Amino acid sequence: MNFDMLGRLPPRTVGRVRELEQLCADYDGTDRNLVVGEVVSCYPDIPRYYLAWEGKKLVGALTARAARADTGMVSVCVHPEYRRRRIMRRLADYVTNILSWKGCRRILFACDANSRQGKAACHHSGLPLDHQSYLMRYTGGEVPAGEALRIRPGEPGDLLELGRLYAAQTGQPDLLSRNMARYVLDSKGVQCYTAWKDGELVGACSAGTEGECITLTRPVIAPNWRERDVERTILKTVLNEVSVQFQKPVLLGIPQENRQVVDLYTSSNFTVQSRLDYYVCQIGKTGV
């Protein structure tokens, strides 16, 4: 069996991965549109895709990101005929070694709440449940307006200010926060939008445009603007932009326990499509 680690999928491989995701979703009775945390990454240089091949047949695929310096987030699917052959473990070992070298101390495994096999694999590996999220889908229509802002696509000159915005949101070191800003500004397949008021950067939102759906991140808001209705204004503009430009469904992951945020997005024409369970692996303490 051969393994590949790729920063971006070649066009000829994208279809193979989507077919495997659909096959696994049909077999398990789950949602194939599994959102893995954030679009942003602290470590733009790490491979995002880890693939397992049996000859020319794709039998396993893992997608990874590190939206925080100490935490990686992954989702994995394995061909039904090749399960119980430690493919998930071997794929996870590759990404664990890379993320631990970068400084990550834990990895969150995303699992559809309806996936009995996925949850059983996590329980069998001794991985406890960390948290649950809703996968929400934009249903279209007008989003109520909030604070009046000027919103435009991110530009290279926004790097330092956007980095400071991420630092204020996450509490992470400046270098890693600038990495996150650089990732959303420079990466193919990611569109960043910045929101300004009187020359001040007050918020930003990124959208992953690869695949069959748009993966939207919840807007990042400057601390002194969080009590104002900035998030709704950014959301309204970004949804209008991506819906028209890409003509794809828009999906967003929201923590299930944050009812205020869930209500905000429900009132902005999002509906719950499915629920995701995140199981945590403490690097160096337990295996997958």
Residue 38 has pLDDT above 70, yes or no: no
Mean pLDDT for the chain overall: 85
What is the DSSP-derived secondary structure letter of residue 224? G
Q: What span, in angstroms and rounded, lies between the C-alpha atoms of 102 and 21?
A: 28
Q: How far is CA 66 from CA 41, 155, 198, in A?
A: 5, 23, 33
Residue 31 has pLDDT above 70, yes or no: no
Q: DSSP H helical segments within the chain, as ranges?
A: 11-28, 87-102, 116-124, 159-170, 174-186, 230-246, 259-266
Residue 98 has pLDDT above 60, yes or no: yes
- Copy the structure tokens of residue 284: 């160096």
pLDDT at res. 49: 87
Residue 1 has pLDDT above 60, yes or no: yes
Residue 287 has pLDDT above 60, yes or no: no
Q: Do residues 140 and 105 lie in contact, with contact meaning Cβ atoms separated by under 8 Å?
A: no
Output the CA torsion 147→150→155→158 (10° steps).
Answer: -60
What is the DSSP-derived secondary structure letter of residue 141? S
Using 50, 70 and 90 to split pLDDT, how confident is the model at 162?
very high
Using 50, 70 and 90 to split pLDDT, how confident is the model at 52?
very high
Output the CA torsion 221→44→216→254 (10° steps).
Answer: -70
According to DSSP, the β-strands at 106-112 and 270-282 are antiparallel
Residue 244 has pLDDT above 90, yes or no: no
Residue 16 has pLDDT above 60, yes or no: yes
Q: How far is CA 144 from CA 31, 50, 117, 269, in A?
A: 29, 40, 41, 10
pLDDT tens profile 275-285: 889 999 888 65
Q: What span, in angstroms and rounded, lies between the C-alpha atoms of 130 and 264?
A: 24
Domains and CATH numbers, the chain: 2-133+276-282 (3.40.630.30), 138-275 (3.40.630.30)
Counted residue by residue, the chain has a size of 288
Range 156-171 average pLDDT: 91
Range 54-83 average pLDDT: 88
Q: Do residues 193 and 153 lie in contact, with contact meaning Cβ atoms separated by under 8 Å?
A: yes
| pTM for the whole structure | 0.81
pLDDT at res. 36: 45
Q: Lowest-pLDDT range, 20-34, 40-54, 225-239?
A: 20-34
Output phi, psi for 234, to 5 deg. Answer: -60, -45
Q: What span, in angstroms and rounded, lies between the C-alpha atoms of 131 and 133?
A: 7
Which candidate, 156, 166, 153, places its Cα nearest to that of 192?
Answer: 153
Q: What span, in angstroms and rounded, lies between the C-alpha atoms of 80 and 89?
A: 15
Residue 159 has pLDDT above 90, yes or no: yes
Q: Do residues 143 and 241 lie in contact, with contact meaning Cβ atoms separated by under 8 Å?
A: no
